Structure 1
Amino acid sequence: GMAQALGPDTPFTAIAGSEIFSLEMSRTEALTQAFRRSIGVRIKEETEIIEGEVVEIQIDRPATGTGTKVGKLTLKTTEMETIYDLGAKMIEALSKEKVQAGDVITIDKATGKISKLGRSFTRARDYDAMGAQTKFVQCPDGELQKRREVVHTVSLHEIDVINSRTQGFLALFSGDTGEIKPEVREQINAKVAEWREEGKAEVIPGVLFIDEVHMLDIESFSFLNRALESDMAPVLIMATNRGITRIRGTAHRSPHGLPLDLLDRLLIIATAPYGDKETRQILKIRCEEEDVEMTEDAYAVLTRIGLETSLRYAMQLITAASLVARKRK
């Protein structure tokens, strides 16, 4: 719910207190990665693109079948038409995207990447077998060559992983990031600071949510204390259901199992237990998600169970009760 309210552009990371304990990675490294996942960088860059409707593609293949292919591509907008010479790589990219006359395409001049925007409206009445996903777009107007501002939003952790080793981007998908050297992070921080001064990038402090925070030990708390003082620190939200309990790693007892120096810096928001109305509403949403129909009596019974025991227990009963009811029918 919190992540939805913040929107897609604000980085939100949720971890449990017990997640950071691992044999492969130190606790401070796990917390640093969680912190840096919660800091976004919005990078702006201007790219030159060629955008137009394909009038004709001519590809000359050598008679022998070997050798380089050459060709010509005719693009037009509502105001102009231009012929471009094609090399072997561009011909390959066009055939890969299955570009044909009547398609509206964009070509990134820096990378040579071709994107197909759709078919031109002028070809809408042509007799052609087309799939339901075919999209018709207007023929572009103005110049063929345009400058466009592209905005990329990435987290600092993603930049760390990509720069930490060769082919680091593959580690983003596998999740096998390992420990990242502090030197790499320092260089990235310096670069991001430089981009901020030049106006190329904007730092978005996100939200880091740590559930069951009483599971952290004293070393982790001292790290959090220091990390919160950095200029790019995200908003830290902690959740715990403990009263006065022992701080892990010490013999001291304190409220919520947090050291007093950290506790003094926090704003404590007490949450009230769910009432009859809220429990009923949550169970109703859960029933819709699980595609289960319930009578008013069943809602009343489940709400009572949820209030007497726990909401989690009542939610687990939905599927079981639905199967029993179906069997009885």
Structure 2
Amino acid sequence: MVGQSAARKAAGLIVRMIKDGQIAGRALLIVGEPGSGKTAVAMGISKSIGDDTPFISISASEVFSVDLSKPEALTQAFRKAIGVRIKEETEVLAGEVVQIEIDRPQSGAGPRVGKLTLKTTDMEAIYDTGNKMTESLIKERIVAGDIIQIDKATGKISKIGRSIARSKDYDALGPQDKLVACPSGEIQSRVETVNTISLHDIDVINSRSHGYLAVFSGDTGEIKSEVREQIDKKVVEWREENKAQIIPGVLFVDEVHIPFPNFVESPHGVPLDLLDRCLIIRTSNYNEHEIREILKIRASDELVEMDDDSINDLVQIALETSMRYCMQLISTSDILRQRRKGEKVTVDDVKKAWSLFIDVKRCKKEMEKHEDWFIK
């Protein structure tokens, strides 16, 4: 990020409080002029809190829906931002594949069964495989020398890698294949697995009217409060039994003033009682040096080569108009550069793009100049 040192320091304190679990249930409001980097600060917070903490981003306009009421839409968004880390123990078979024997029917049709020989450094065992397990072995392309793990409850086969003992054998290994040591101890063992899921996903799965398929389609609809109450009680039981851990996340609502059209004259367009309950971070306008750095970064991201004069011209335009307008001029100027088959974007390209596409201030002047032509 460029500039906004005070806002970044405040955001750093918020990130530390989020990681320590000291800010649960509180509201943070990021205010500032248009184009001053409010969303960039929020995205910086999302990248800093880590992958374990849920971060949900929505726009305030998403609250308005024909299918969902506003309280239901907000409730679903809040429950998406609350994660539940569930711990469970499963029995697995882990070892190196010594041999696979598959008995195929002579007719070619019908179930296929076989035998699977697994070994560790301490023992070796032979298992009979049914049709489903045999099909999974063929699908995963399991061969002798692979280190695999089989979940006994679900029958899921996970290929961990290739045995180091087979590394001397001639074999074409891809970049995704890795050499691992043969496991030691018992073939059958109990492994603790940790899965993280949001409260909203649990709501959808347990909703009889939609079921788990709604998790993939996104069409959840209204969820009854009774379902949520039962799920909350169950999650509390899991937490007391040390089977689950609740992870409070972050819900970021962009353009939060949109749902409050009756509070246009209020500070920041939100009710005063809501504003009084928020921690407020203020962003300031960028200076000339910061604008130049941001435009250079944006041009580099869009793979646009610009000379120094064109960058300086864009900086002056940004000071008179807005940063967003200048960022849009970068791509349009590059198209003009391609048409004349030049190597870099020049001042002439920027000026031509400026003349073709007007900014908000010039648009407003045109509207005021021809206001008699429009319906009042």
User: Normalising by the residue count of structure 1, what TM-score does the alignment of the two structures yield?
Assistant: 0.84
Amino acid at match of 1:5: S
Query: Partner of 1:323 in structure 2?
Result: 335
- How does 1:137-156 map onto structure 2 within 5 Å? 137-156=180-199
Q: Which amino acid aligns with 2:326?
A: A
Map 1:127-276 onto structure 2 (within 5 A): 127-165=170-208, 168-217=211-260, 246-247=262-263, 253-276=265-288
How big is the shift at 1:3?
A: 1.3
Give, as a single letter, the amino acid of the residue that structure 1 aligns with 2:271. Answer: P
CA contact (8 A) 2:204 2:210 kept: no
Q: Give yes or no for the alignment of 1:125 onto 2:125.
A: no
In 1, the alpha carbon distance for the partners of 2:240 and 2:163 equals: 42
- 2:118 corresponds in structure 1 to 75
| Change over 3 Å in CA distance of 1:144–1:281 after alignment to 2 | farther
Deviations 1:1-44 (A, max 9, x none): 22111111111112222221111111111111111111111111
1:282-309: per-residue Cα shift (whole Å, max 9, x none)? 2222222212222232322222222321
2:333 matches 1:290 = no
Percent of aligned pairs with the same residue?
A: 62
Q: In structure 1, what is the equivalent of residue 360 of structure 2?
A: none
CA shift at 1:311, angstroms?
1.4
Query: Given residue 262 of structure 1, which amino acid in structure 2 is its aligned partner?
Result: L
- Aligned residue among 53, 57, 60 for 1:14: 57
Greater mean deviation of Cα atoms: 1-10 or 100-109: 1-10
Other-structure match for 1:223: none
Change (3 A) 1:142 1:324: same
Partner SS state of residue 214, structure 1: coil
**AA partner of residue 87 (structure 2):** K
Deviation at 1:46, TM superposition (A): 1.7
Per-residue deviation, 1:64: 5.0
- The residue type paired with residue 170 of structure 2 is Y
1:94 aligns with 2:110: no
> Structure 2: how far apart are the matches of 1:167 and 1:90?
31
Output one character per residue of 1:138-168: Cα deviation in whole Å (capped at 9) or x when no partner.
Answer: 2222222222221111111111112113663
CA-to-aligned-CA distance 1:215-247 (integer Å, 9 cap, x gap): 1148xxxxxxxxxxxxxxxxxxxxxxxxxxx42
Aligned partner of 2:90 among 47, 70, 74: 47
Shift of 1:70: 3.3
Change (3 A) 1:129 1:167: farther
Cα 1:62–1:323 shift into 2, 3 Å = closer
Partner amino acid, structure 2, of 1:158: D
Instruction: Measure the CA separation in 2 of the matches of 1:32 and 1:190.
Output: 17
Pick aligned residue for 1:306 from 315, 318, 329: 318
Q: Distance in 2 between matches of 1:173 and 1:70?
A: 34
Rate the CA distance shift 1:301–1:173 in 2: closer, same or farther, 3 A.
farther
Cα deviation, 1:111-147, whole Å, max 9, x if unaligned, reads 1110111221222232344444333222222222222
More RCO (CA 8 Å, sep 6+)? 2
The correspondence for 1:104, drawn from 120, 129, 147, is 147
Greater helix share, structure number: 2
Which whole-Å CA distance do the structure 1 matches of 2:121 and 2:65 have between them?
A: 61
What amino acid sits opposite 1:202 in the alignment? Q
1-structure distance, mates of 2:255, 2:284: 17
Structure 1 residues 259, 151: CA separation in 2 closer, same or farther (over 3 Å shift)? Answer: same
Instruction: Give distance in 1, aligned partners of 2:195 and 2:45.
Output: 23
CA distance in 2, matches of 1:162, 1:277: 52
Distance change in 2, residues 1:315/1:66 (3 Å): closer
Report the Cα offset of residue 63 of structure 1: 4.1
Q: What corresponds to 1:113 in structure 2?
A: 156
Distance in 1, Cα, partners of 2:313 & 2:333: 11
Q: Report if aligned partners of 2:94, 2:147 keep a CA contact under 8 Å in 1.
A: yes
C-alpha distance in 1 between matches for 2:133 and 2:298: 51
CA distance in 2, matches of 1:283, 1:327: 22
Aligned partners of 2:194 and 2:293: how far apart in 1? 39
CA contact (8 A) 2:260 2:269 kept: no
